């Protein structure tokens, strides 16, 4: 069953990426798919948004970011929002980060660049599991 924000009956997504171009591009794709979208440029910004907007259904985060990587962010965000779904994205994967910390069967990874269809497919899968 899909997770929806009960206030407006839509899925709210928090996108986190340190690249402003990617952040804006993914924001537009998700808006086109009908999602409510929040953006953050880093882990600390994302945590602050999660404290302000507790109705976040999905965290879509880049894995490789300075200061706090996406895996560290996901672990912190789940403490604030235990029901949040996690989807990772990355232009390149560092196996030293992902091998032991990221069970791909539980947390999907979108490899950048990804299509709108791939994004939609992953979100549908995450929301229905």
DSSP 8-state assignment for residue 82: T
Report d(CA 56, CA 12) in Å as an integer: 5
Tokens of 101: 């910390």
**What is the pTM assigned to this prediction?**
0.86
Q: Where are the domains of the chain?
A: 12-128
**Alpha carbon distances (Å) from 84 to 4, 5, 54, 59:** 11, 11, 10, 7
- Segment 26-48 shows an average pLDDT of 96
Report d(CA 129, CA 46) in Å as an integer: 24
CATH class, range 12-128: alpha beta
Between 31 and 101, the more confident residue is 31
Q: How confident is the model at residue 62 (pLDDT cuts 50, 70, 90)?
A: very high
Report d(CA 110, CA 97) in Å as an integer: 16
| 105 has pLDDT over 70 | no
């Amino acid at each position: 069953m899909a997770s929806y924000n009960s206030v407006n009956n839509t899925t709210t997504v928090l996108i986190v990426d340190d690249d402003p171009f990617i952040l804006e591009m993914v924001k537009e794709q998700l808006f086109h798919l009908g999602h409510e979208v929040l953006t953050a440029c880093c882990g600390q910004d994302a945590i602050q948004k999660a404290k302000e907007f507790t109705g976040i259904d999905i965290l879509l985060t880049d894995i490789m970011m300075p200061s706090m990587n996406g895996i560290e962010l996901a672990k912190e965000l789940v403490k604030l929002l235990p029901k949040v779904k996690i989807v990772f994205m990355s232009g390149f994967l560092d196996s030293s980060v992902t091998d032991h910390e990221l069970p791909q069967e539980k947390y999907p990874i979108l490899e950048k660049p990804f299509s709108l269809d791939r994004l939609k497919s992953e979100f549908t899968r995450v929301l229905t599991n």
